[in-house]
Amino acid sequence: MSATQMASSLEISEEQYHNLETGVEAPTVNTLRRLAEILNSTVPDLLSDQPVRELVQAKPPGHFSAESLSDTDKDTYIKILENQLRALLAEKKGA
């Protein structure tokens, strides 16, 4: 599926789609819902994908742990998870 087709399926512009893929902006709830429909999945499943959990759990104890981060660092942690999710979605899209 091309970027144009994905953007159209997600009901967003190609620029917004590019920004999602590159991590410039985070997906909205509606975009996640549409993506879940396209991938025949659910939003919770997308957000709790096993490879994402494995990547996070592979970090040393206390590193990137939501409990050990300040509020500012939690935003960074969320961005890391979003980027991991985007990478997984790109893999699924290509499969």
This prediction's pTM: 0.48
- pLDDT tens-digit readout, 36-77: 888 787 777 776 666 655 655 555 544 545 555 556 566 666
- pLDDT tens-digit readout, 67-87: 555 565 666 667 777 877 888
Answer whether 14's CB lies under 8 Å from 7's CB. yes
For the chain, give every domain's residue range: 3-94
* 88-to-39, 48, 61, 72 alpha-carbon distances in Å: 12, 11, 23, 25
Locate tokens 């953007």: which residue? 7
> What number of residues does the chain have?
95
